[in-house]
Structure 1
Amino acid sequence: MITTTLRRAAVTACVGLASLGLLAPGPARAGTPAHQADPPHAPSLTLPRPTGPYGVGTDTLHLVDAGRTDPWVPESGPRELMVSMYYPTRRGSGTTPARYVTPRESELILRSQGITDVPADILSSVHTYARSGAAPRAGRHTYPLVVLSPGFSFPRTSLTALAEDLASSGYVVATVEHTYESVATTFPDGHVTTCVACEREDLDPRQVVLGRAADVSFALDELVGPHPAWPLSGLIDPSRIGMAGHSIGGASGGTTAARDPRVRAVVNLDGTQFDPLPESGLDVPFLFVGTEDGHSPGGADTTWDRDWRRLTGWKRWITVGGAVHFSFTDYATLADQLGLDLGQTVAGDRAVRITNEYVGAFFDQHLRGRHRPLLDGPSRRYPEVRFRP
């Protein structure tokens, strides 16, 4: 766990080391344990059903960046990444449901938060909707690509509901696991890496952001470059690429877009902007989505105020009433199903739906050119959502 002021501030101000929200978001506050009800038996866990018209297929890629040594464990050699791909399929295509996490990953996720009153492998039973190896939709179709980056210590699976919903609506989605920044990453040979970066006393959040930008740019090279690593790369329209992320994954979006012109639209889900946007401005569509206590205009996180002024293109800043830091991930709904009271007053399924709706509307408008009135201002359907004036 983080012991220095810098590391605690980095985590609780939205780097998000507490992957299930057990550390209260906010600057340099100590963590508080969640209240947990005692369920009569192990619950059946499920993610919200995707809302789009298509089925969802999924593949897993193991990418090796021979040109870059791993920044956290240099002796391990080149930087290696695990990436999950999601894409549109015919409904009913494919027979094997994708596993959410392995039993070992479930154990490590729960152990990292001191959660011992549920079966250690419970997260491996989460029901998902993607099918491994499913055939893509028939015909010649290309889709926008959205890259997702999870929060610090979060596995890439923490954004599965968002990935599946986007894919069901006609996007290819790549969720990137940032090795040694996640509490549990399983590689094809079976070895599992943990969060080495979490133990660093000299952690510099800006360096984490810059490393994530490098990871995403390398993943894009492997997906849309001249020698793609994914057999279905022909599904991707390389002229329509966006990025979204949670916590420090969201904070990495602006940095990535400023350095890599392939990224043309960005969503930051409750992430402190540790690496300032260029003073000269960033002219890409940008959506801030945050909690009311931490990310209201003039609130605890002043980096949004600073970078709001540096965004020179289309932009929106919304907050969600009743949400807490982890409410923009799968853990919003899984916590409810496990009987964990982690402080959110908005229902977990509702929080996931709001996240998916606004992120999907944003990319529809800016990667597909479809005007979405949801982004114009307050909606009666979502009274929890407030727009910055």
Structure 2
Amino acid sequence: MNTTSNRRRRIGAVAVLALAASVAATGTGLAVTTPPSIAHATATTAAATDVAAPAPSFRGTLPPPTGPYAAGEDVIHLTDASRPDPWVPSSGPRQLTVTMLYPAVPGTGTPAPYTTLGEAAGVLQRHQALASAGVTPQNLAGITTHAFDGARPQSGKHPLVVLSPAYEDPRWTLTALATDLASHGYVVALVGHTYEDSGETLADGRTSSCMICDSPAGLDFDAVAAGRALDVSFVIDRLTHGNTAWPLAHLVDKHEIGMAGHSLGGAAAAATMIADPRVRAGVNMDGSFHPDPAPGQLDRPFLMLGTTAATDWEHTWAALGGYKRWLTVVGANHFSFSDLDLLLQEAGFPAPPLSPERGIAITREYVTAFFDRTLEGIDSPLLDGPSPDNPEVLFRD
């Protein structure tokens, strides 16, 4: 297995934001081409059909993290020599780009760009509506992430949380969540699933294209989720077996590992937990399951966090064993659980009923509380029932 470390930048929520924006321009995009969440994306599809106001001065800014630590960042490139790439076998072994975020000492490091220019250009090329709204690759790369390259890490070992994005979305669409988890003491691995989104800049400087985005009707989403589970298990292997994959791998507590995903990434979280017992707790953010877990397959802690339209979870809810929570968020749409809604708003597109800022805040609070309880043993009353501070969040029995 070859491992190359490099400080490449991640492509931003722009991909998703571009994806949703492309609905306006072409009638296609995430809302139409994502069976894992097709019901949940409908509202976003409708909203995106409104024309964005020109935004030549687009200056995207993510909310600052809420924890006591700064968020350090590094980007690593991993090659799994044990299997060919499932989408482009001629490219050789499976290559992955992974953004690592970690608890760091405040005031150290330099601001980390949101994305590489190559990744940003790939988003804008695939989804012209964003460019029409005045967004440029430089705009996207310059989004304020509140993560810092070369930041000095906090000492000790920290739980690892792996994040997997939605179908067609690059890894950085979960940056707001990742930086917040890092600020609360977690090491976070944002996995880019190569050839499954608008572009990931690989170790040799090439930026991949999406090989599965134009023919969703022919995709076996169970197989895609299973392939992502292989990606994640490989990343965990490389981060927990010595320090060769990442110079800061000594920060990872290999006994405390969780995973969260958005949409298809949420399905991948369940698939990974079923296949890999090292993952002790999982979160599905507004995605259908591919396939539905059978009774007895998933008996570790699991959180389902979604829109009020998430009506296809009943079978999974009944099958889940162990500690579990099903939360719905009133006014949320499919992209309320990622960076997308906020960036669409800043690009001039109409906001959903739930403000993007609230969507990010709710996602951060409940996902962090869940991992605090299940990985760290820190009890949080937030998960015990409805909270007056978060009236939008409903608990399902």
TM-score, normalisation: structure 1: 0.89
1:188 and 1:34 mapped to 2: Cα distance? 38
Report the Cα distance in structure 1 between the residues aligned to 2:207 and 2:277, rounded to whole angstroms. Answer: 33
Deviation at 1:31, TM superposition (A): 9.7
CA contact (8 A) 2:108 2:150 kept: no
SS of the residue aligned with 1:185? coil
Aligned to 2:207: 192
Match of residue 336 from structure 2? 327
Q: Deviation at 1:119?
A: 2.8
* Aligned-residue offset at 1:48: 0.3
Residue 339 of structure 1 aligns to which amino acid in structure 2?
G
| Alignment check: 8 A CA contact 2:262 2:285 kept | yes
SS in 2 for 1:184: coil
Summarize the Cα distance change of 1:35–1:206 in structure 2 as closer, same or farther, 3 Å threshold. Answer: same
* Preserved CA contact (<8 Å) 1:10 1:205: no
Pick aligned residue for 1:37 from 53, 73, 76: 53
Q: Separation in 2 of the partners of 1:187 and 1:211?
A: 19
Q: Which residue of 1 aligns with 2:126?
A: 112
Displacement after TM superposition at 1:8 (Å): 8.2
2-side partners of 1:339 and 1:10: how far apart?
23
Quote the Cα distance in structure 2 between the aligned partners of 1:154 and 1:25. Answer: 18
1:381 paired to 2:389: yes
Correspondence 1:371 to 2:379: yes
Partner of 2:357: 349
1:134 aligned to 2:143? no
Say yes or no: does 1:161 pair with 2:184.
no
Structure 1 residue 102 corresponds to structure 2 residue 116: yes
Instruction: Flag as ranges the 4+ runs of structure 1 deviating above 3 A.
Output: 7-10, 29-32
1:247 Cα offset (Å)? 0.6
- For residue 85 of structure 1, give the secondary structure of its aligned residue in structure 2: strand
> C-alpha separation between the residues in 1 aligned to 2:31 and 2:355?
28
1:249 and 1:13, CA in 2 relative to 1: closer, same or farther beyond 3 A? closer
Between the aligned residues of both structures, percent identity stands at 46
Moved more, 68-77 or 107-116: 107-116
User: TM-score if structure 2 supplies the norm length?
Assistant: 0.87
Residue deviations 1:277-328 (CA, integer Å, cap 9, x gap) = 13334111100011112x1xxx3xx2x1111111110000011111111110
Q: 2:140 aligns with which of 118, 123, 127?
A: 123
Judge conservation of contact 1:246–1:268 (CA < 8 Å) in 2.
yes
**Distance in 2 of aligned mates of 1:244 and 1:105:** 23
1:237 correspondence with 2:253: yes
RMSD, aligned α-carbons: 2.4
Matched AA of 1:24: T
Q: Structure 1: any 5+ residue segments left out of the alignment?
A: none
- Determine which of 69, 78, 81 is the counterpart of 2:84: 69
Alignment-mate amino acid for residue 98 of structure 2: V
Output the CA distance in 2 between the equivalents of 1:281 and 1:216.
18
Q: Give, in whole Å, the separation in 2 of the partners of 1:126 and 1:158.
A: 12
Matched, 1:307 2:298: no
Letter of the 1:374 partner, please give it: L
Q: Residue 221 of structure 2 is aligned with which of 205, 209, 222?
A: 205
Indicate the structure with greater helix content. 2
Counterpart of 1:271 in structure 2 is 287
Maintained 8 Å contact 2:242/2:249:
no
Cα 1:12/1:30, change in 2 over 3 Å: farther
* Greater relative contact order (Cα < 8 A, sep 6+): 2
Query: C-alpha distance in 1, partners of 2:218/2:252?
Result: 39
Contact 1:13 1:25 in 2 (8 A): no
The one-letter code sitting in structure 1 at the alignment partner of 2:188 is V
